[in-house]
Amino acid sequence: MGNAVENSAVKDKNILIIGGGLGGLFTGALLAKNGAIVRVLEKNVIIGGGLQCFSRNGKSFETGMHIVGGFRPGGTLYKLSSYLGILDRLQLEHLEGEYADTIFFADNNLSFRLPSGRENFTKALISYFPDEEEGIKGYIDAIFSLSDLLPLYNLRERCDYLINPPEEFVMPADMLIARYVSDPTLRALLAYHNSLYDGVKEETPAFIHAVINTLYITGQSRFIGGSLQLASALAEVIINNGGEVLSPKEVISLEMLDNRVISATTGDGKVYTADYFISAIHPATLSSMMPPHAFKKSYSRRLNEIPNSCSAFSLYIDLKPGAFPYLPHTNYYIENENLVWQQEKYNRGGEIKAFMYMTPPDQHQGEYASRLLVYSLMSFDEVREWENSSLGNRGEGYEVWKKGYKDYLLDKLEHLYPGFRNMILHTYSASPLTIRDYYNTKEGAIFGYRKVSGNMAFSHIPAATKIPNLLLTGQNIGLHGICGVPINAIITAEELLGKNFLVREINRCVR
């Protein structure tokens, strides 16, 4: 590993980042490492956005990053974390067992166990569907080829945006799957990761499906002790390089002069100036903070009209000691194979027909789990009647609504694991409103803007804005999640550092 080179374009420049989630912290850390003086203002008491954890009765519960990819040697997050000098601070459990995922189609009582690794994953699929061997191999080749078309996914230097991409790149993901395999159960099985990116039939572009699936097929990991450690490590990079990470500091307005942002005002009345401003919050929220006419009307309108991805309902279960086994794999419960696409459409009316559950690892993890997390996609429409309420003041109706979903999920787990209710000490739950308020994202969207195959240009938001010293970062400007958001951070930082500067530096420093 070599020494990093400071970039003269940002050295000693003051950069203010609005939002201390994954995107804001990664962008800030990359710029701080290269000589910028970075200040991050985070709305919540706890930094991290989707990396946030909360503690109850001495146990930590993750709110977003339950499983991660890219942290194996050679992976994008492995290289990026090594470059920032934080890899050794991250405690990760790599899922190395016979299988990494279990998928259960309840109506047909069919269960599939799939391992990590391209070769083993392919062999397992063929063992379940021997008549589809040729199609399975073709599908696996296709998704890895599509992922390879995105240079930053593999930390390669990028040219201009992909010109004339192959047909499969932007075709709907369900059509890509159908092109290779004909068995309806296998088609559903190949889409089981939909809950990690809000896959929608006839809409979600195949390249998103490909990136998410190859990321987790290559190798899954979990944070031991919670994902907040990544946020803390990134904040430390910023602070150690002369910057600040301040919370709670909610930015309520931006002031401009001569088509440049000159300052940001927080809710406590303090004013912060900088040379450059980077927004890591939802673009529509940013637009509402700007002076009138700062953005063209057409741009502001589009920021509000691009469809958002869905939200989620989460159940956090505090388990009795020695009661429930630790599961070294991720579990997907799907009531019917026809429900794989657009799962939030079916998780409504008090019923949840598709969900993911897992047991997060503790330090020195033993035979038994201390916690269990359940996560299901959900439309914000389910909580629309309480959208004007605030945390802790949503009313009895809301609490009854939450209890209904909690009981429904517990009934499902009781059916899967008889006696499960007797293994519980405490339960906690979070709704799309919780996500909206803690992540500061429009309608609790957990995957940013929704990408639509037939209209990719409409939802594409560049990192650079028409305001010279205002940039965007985070999941709304590109791919989402643990791999996508750090890639977007590279794109944003390179708007200041120079195209491909970071990619060259990361590959120079990390072997």
Please state the φ and ψ torsions of residue 469, each to the nearest 5 degrees. -110, 25
Q: What angle do CA 475, 478, 479 make, to 5 degrees?
A: 70
Q: What spatial distance separates the first Cα and last Cα of the chain, rounded to whole Å?
A: 6
Mean pLDDT confidence for 22-35? 97
Indicate the SS3 state at residue 290: coil
Tokens representing 393?
Answer: 């003041």
Three-state SS letters, 343-372: HHHCCECCECCEEEEECCCCCCCCCECCEE
Euclidean distance between CA atoms 194 and 208, whole angstroms: 10
Whether the predicted model's global pTM rises above the 0.75 cut: yes
CA dihedral 204, 205, 208, 213 (to 10 degrees): 80
Q: What share of the chain is helix, strand, coil (3-state, %, to 5)?
A: 40, 20, 35
The DSSP bridge pattern shows strands 37-41 and 220-223 to be unpaired
Euclidean distance between CA atoms 232 and 359, whole angstroms: 23
- pLDDT digits over 288-325, tens only? 999 998 999 999 999 999 999 999 999 999 999 999 99
Q: DSSP letter string over 56-78?
A: ETTEEEESS-SSEES-STTSHHH
Q: 339, 374, 405: which is closest to 199 by C-alpha?
A: 339
- pLDDT digits over 113-134, tens only? 999 999 999 999 999 999 999 9
- pLDDT digits over 465-492, tens only? 999 999 999 999 988 888 899 999 999 9
* Most confidently predicted of 7-16, 345-354, 421-430: 421-430
Looking at residue 118, its amino acid is: R
pLDDT of residue 483: 84
pLDDT of residue 128: 98
